[in-house]
Structure 1
Amino acid sequence: MAGLWSAIFAALPVTEADFPLDFSEKIEPSLVEVLKQCRQQLYSGRCQWMQDAQIILDFSWEKLNTGTWRDVDKEWRCVYSYGCLFKVASLCREDASAVKVQEAIRTCDMGLLMGASIMDNVLQRIIRILQNKVWKSHYKEDPNEGVSPKALAVPRIRCPSLERFKNDYLDTQKPVILEGIIDHWPAFKNHPWSLEYLQTVAGCRTVPVEVGSRYTDENWSQTLLTINEFIDQYIVKNTTDLGYLAQHQLFDQIPELRDDILIPDYCCLGDGDEDDITINAWFGPGGTVSPLHHDPQLNFLAQVVGRKYIRLYSPEDTDKLYPHQSQLLNNTSQVEVESPDIEKFPEFVNAPYLECVLQPGDVLFIPVKHWHYVRSLELSFSVSFWWS
């Protein structure tokens, strides 16, 4: 965590006098005084303003949740963002443990989702610092080594209403991580998915297995194995060869597993009915990769077991991603995302992207045609729902 606070403080105005806190009479004078007190403590080097920051957040949160969202005055959203900023500063000022940094990242995301942009979008700059300085080192790998575009975190939101998801993400085609929407699945509650459970339910079943770390590799192939054989060969023995179970019919083939998952309610916003939704299974060891590609439908990627690193690029930057020219792979980039050939693909470094580590219980919304790169950080089981 060395240097984290210095980097955050460097993203703020140089002096207290340059730190704007200009509000109209709509904001209670007593609350403005609390804001000014936090500002003064920030520049005086003291770090005991967490309580004041929480007062700001609690007070403004009530204003944000009174009436409809369109009626919330922007000044109150700004107050909420300042509260998030002061809370993050308090969390990271001294003992910036991994737990505190994760809370700081979540706090920044809440400010970005519920607040308004302040000081030239300072929360975005701070969350980038938190990721670059802490998050990637926490996972012991830097997935962006050798690449230096602006990387932003995929925003997170917990259990949004159908209306809010439609207005803020579906209609605008913006990626988002939905939290708390699959916690009730039997795959988490009744009989949590594990190797032992999978072997008990379907160990003797024969399924297609992809051999190779990614489908663009020359030595990539497919074979048929029982699930027990797949687990023994590619997971238990942990061979250098990588195998991946990517099955579009697994849940039709093994209804016991299909009963453990539920279609997200948000799919009802689509044009088709439930029978038009394609459900896919993705199961394999750490290190397996889905190359940078895009799909023709909307996608909910639900993480059940393990973690995955995911990077997303907008369709607007397709030219910078160098799709294959062949008809078969024209939805797939030629670039090795984590070790790009800059001489061959020079514009790739200019393509901005979003990134995240998908945790168990997270659901990532991937809009149509959004490019995405996926790498399993460990043994992983994901379920994706393709819908229109």
Structure 2
Amino acid sequence: MAMLWSKISAVLPPNEEQFPLQFSDKVESSVVEMLKRCRQQLYSDTTRSSRLLNAQIILDFSWEKLNTGTWRDVDKEWRRVYSYGCLFKVAALCREDPSADEVLQAVKTCDMGLLMGAAIMDDILQVIVRILQSEVRKSTKDEEECEHSQVKRIKIECPRVPVIKEELAVPRIKCPSLESFNTDYLLPLKPVILEGIIDHWPALNQHPWSIEYLRSVAGCRTVPVEVGSRYTDEEWSQTLLTVNEFIDRYILNKDGVKASGYLAQHQLFDQIPELKEDIRLPDYCCLGEGDEDDITVNAWFGPGGTVSPLHQDPQLNFLAQVVGSKYIRLYSPEDTDKLYPHQSQLLHNTSQVEVENPDSERFPEFAKAPYLECVLQPGEVLFIPVRHWHYVRSLELSFSVSFWWS
């Protein structure tokens, strides 16, 4: 760890004068003065406890601002203040020969800045967290083999795969041209499974995604996790865990308590670029109206049995399966009245019906709604047209990537 600070200081501005701290008048002058004090301490000799204390004052004050009202109403200036607080705390933690626990705390602090803050100084928190990660990997290399038997056991469990009737099966096509996909599926808004279009992904060949691989590139990173088998359950909630904690608790079930958790978020690939480099945007997204920056990429990682209730989304969707398999059922928006959407504004895009165990007395019309279904296997991509209702159940340990586009 002795060389860690020299690596971090090398990516910081060389002196206090070149360290930017510009804010609008929305940020109180007293906060700006505290930020300047933290900056001055970064380039001078002072106690570690004083550096940590001042950084924590910045974090505590800006955290209150981030949690006042709804997230969309939070001014970006306060998100930037929070990121600066994270930067100063990381510097304080790593300045003097940090312990392994302090390095992990610094990684978590960077992640909180990446998740809750805004980019500062050419995304310096992303640069620093990569430096910290490489340090963590050095110290954890020897621990990687201890769980292989558990991982193998999970991989060979045979899921109960539903039998798909031919007349209900989502059609399949191998590598269609852009023109034929546009004419036959995109314009008429018809679901289809595309085969052979992501075979070149590193996630499927050079770096096959697995529990071991995810631990190696992201194990110490803190990410949002959905707790509960489906988001409509009363006990469903969200929390922050490291990827290692999520795997131990919800995939390997190391604490012996059977629980459901799902890593489902759109920031994962921005937060962990190593994973983003393992995937590619489907070529067919070029048929959309927006540009590449308008495409939302989501990660979905969780154990077998995790369910996304029947719901619809306001954009087109390519759901790419990388690890494991999923059972998926699709309904046309034309049959919305037979699917009994929730009346509340919050869940108006979600059906009240439990698809594989419907209550025919409460929802008598549901059985009359026509549908298509499939089992999506690794390497396959399902095109889900805009506002098409879809129900998803993981049949086994699963990692999927979805692309929402217009």
TM range (shorter): 0.5 to 0.7
1:229 corresponds to which of 225, 239, 245 = 245
Q: Give the drift of 1:278.
A: 0.2
Query: What residue in structure 1 maps to residue 210 of structure 2?
Result: 194
Query: What residue in structure 2 maps to residue 184 of structure 1?
Result: 200
Structure 1: distance between partners of 2:227 and 2:379:
27
Q: Give the drift of 1:282.
A: 0.2
The alignment's C-alpha RMSD in Å is: 1.7
Amino acid at match of 1:140: R
2:170 corresponds to which of 144, 154, 165 = 154
1:140 corresponds to which of 138, 156, 160 = 160
Structure 2: distance between partners of 1:198 and 1:192:
10
Identity value in percent: 80
Query: What do the CA deviations read for 1:84-129 (whole angstroms, capped 9, x no partner)?
Result: xxxxxxxxxxxxxxxxxxxxxxxxxxxxxxxxxxxxxxxxxxxxxx
Q: Is 1:373 paired with 2:391?
A: yes
Q: Give the drift of 1:189.
A: 1.6
Structure 1: distance between partners of 2:166 and 2:172:
19
Structure 2: distance between partners of 1:365 and 1:224:
31
Query: What residue in structure 2 maps to residue 246 of structure 1?
Result: 264
Runs of 5+ consecutive residues of structure 2 not aligned to the other structure: 1-157
Query: What residue in structure 1 maps to residue 289 of structure 2?
Result: 271
SS for the counterpart of 1:346 is coil
Alignment length, in residue pairs? 247
Query: What residue in structure 2 maps to residue 347 of structure 1?
Result: 365
Residues 287-302 of structure 1 correspond to what in structure 2 (within 5 A)?
Answer: 287-302=305-320
Query: What residue in structure 1 maps to residue 300 of structure 2?
Result: 282
1:143/1:325 CA distance change after superposition, 3 Å: farther
Structure 2: distance between partners of 1:341 and 1:236:
33
Amino acid at match of 1:236: L
- The answer (yes or no) to whether the contact 2:160–2:395 under 8 Å persists in 1 is no
Q: Give the drift of 1:190.
A: 1.1
Structure 1: distance between partners of 2:283 and 2:236:
36
SS for the counterpart of 2:168 is strand
Residues 1-388 of structure 1 correspond to what in structure 2 (within 5 A)?
Answer: 140=160, 142=162, 152-237=168-253, 239-388=257-406
Structure 2: distance between partners of 1:224 and 1:139:
29
- The answer (yes or no) to whether the contact 1:283–1:380 under 8 Å persists in 2 is yes
Query: What residue in structure 2 maps to residue 46 of structure 1?
Result: none
1:263/1:348 CA distance change after superposition, 3 Å: same
Amino acid at match of 1:201: V
Q: Give the drift of 1:140.
A: 3.4
Structure 1: distance between partners of 2:267 and 2:208:
21
Runs of 5+ consecutive residues of structure 1 not aligned to the other structure: 1-137
SS for the counterpart of 1:229 is helix
Structure 1: distance between partners of 2:234 and 2:365:
25
Structure 1: distance between partners of 2:313 and 2:292:
19
- The answer (yes or no) to whether the contact 2:162–2:327 under 8 Å persists in 1 is no
Amino acid at match of 2:196: G
Structure 2: distance between partners of 1:288 and 1:193:
19
- The answer (yes or no) to whether the contact 2:318–2:402 under 8 Å persists in 1 is yes
TM (norm. structure 1) is 0.62
1:385/1:185 CA distance change after superposition, 3 Å: same
Query: What do the CA deviations read for 1:321-374 (whole angstroms, capped 9, x no partner)?
Result: 000011110000000001111000000000010000000000000000000000
Q: Give the drift of 1:240.
A: 1.9
Q: Give the drift of 1:141.
A: 5.8
SS for the counterpart of 2:366 is helix
- The answer (yes or no) to whether the contact 2:342–2:350 under 8 Å persists in 1 is yes
Q: Give the drift of 1:289.
A: 0.2
Structure 1: distance between partners of 2:222 and 2:207:
22
Amino acid at match of 2:278: D
Q: Give the drift of 1:151.
A: 6.1
Structure 2: distance between partners of 1:214 and 1:283:
13
TM (norm. structure 2) is 0.59
